[in-house]
A and B are shown apart, each in its own frame.
Chain A
Amino acid sequence: EPEVTQTPSHQVTQMGQEVILRCVPISNHLYFYWYRQILGQKVEFLVSFYNNEISEKSEIFDDQFSVERPDGSNFTLKIRSTKLEDSAMYFCASTGQTSGANVLTFGAGSRLTVL
């Protein structure tokens, strides 16, 4: 069964450092998403991406965050200058359509720990 692949599975970084989280969505999918889950809290929407541009972003997704699809397979989330409160599990998801039948396939997540 096709999978969404995320790397790294766990990253530890110092506050103020830049972090890039990588995702390989399912190959024929067109819509890509990042969500995050702070420990003990809800999974929260960050950003959606379609046709090489952001289609929607949440209040959380401020100027410190950016997304990119640098080639035909990878989808990245960059955090420019990490803060302690960025520590969370970050999930990438993809889907082939946006409709009532939209099933998002999620990756296993990248756990980010900011010290």
Chain B
Amino acid sequence: KQEVTQIPAALSVPEGENLVLNCSFTDSAIYNLQWFRQDPGKGLTSLLLIQSSQREQTSGRLNASLDKSSGRSTLYIAASQPGDSATYLCAALTGGGNKLTFGTGTQLKVEL
């Protein structure tokens, strides 16, 4: 059974800082690894998707990497802004492409 863990659970940084969020998963037989953003009381916004054959994906100030063999993914946020404050979730897609297994998330606060 796939288990996904995220550390840290919460992070508070000053504006402008670069930061790394960590995600680990127990079953390396994944189709892809996705990072989502969740604002309080809102839905899930897809940020980046890394297919199992890929090593990283970039979108603007965000860069996600994937190391399947070690069961790890990282989300790097460059030059953080207060608008980046949210909960970041990683999720591994397994089971014939049908099922996402989510981590508990990292709650990020970027302060002025």
Interface contact B103-A42, CB-CB below 8 Å: yes
Q: Is the CB of A106 within 8 A of B99?
A: no
Say whether A43 contacts B42, CB under 8 Å: no
Residues in A neighbouring B93, C-beta threshold 8 A: 100, 102
Please tell me if B104 contacts chain A, counting CB pairs below 8 Å.
yes
Contact B31 A99 (CB under 8 A): yes
A68 within 8 A of B: no
Chain A residues within 8 Å of B104, by CB: 41-42
Q: How large is the interface on B (under 10, 10 to 19, 20 to 34, 35 or more residues)?
A: 20 to 34
Q: Does B89 belong to the interface (CB within 8 Å)?
A: yes
**Contact residues, B77-104 vs A (CB, 8 A):** 89, 91, 93, 95-104
A76 at the interface (CB under 8 A from B): no
| A-B interface contact total, Cβ < 8 Å | 67
Given A107-B43, A109-B43: A102 in contact with B97 (beta carbons within 8 A): yes
Q: Count the A residues whose beta carbon is within 8 Å of the partner chain — how many? A: 27
Q: Report B31-44 CB contacts with A as 1/0, cut-off 8 Å.
A: 11010100001111
Q: Is A103 engaged at the interface, CB distance under 8 Å to the other chain?
A: yes
Binding site for B on A (CB under 8 A): 31, 33, 35, 41-45, 48, 55-56, 58, 91, 93, 98-109, 111
Listed by A's residue number, 14 A-B pairs whose Cβ atoms lie within 8 Å are A42-B103, A42-B105, A43-B44, A44-B102, A45-B101, A91-B43, A100-B32, A101-B49, A102-B97, A103-B46, A105-B46, A106-B44, A107-B43, A108-B43
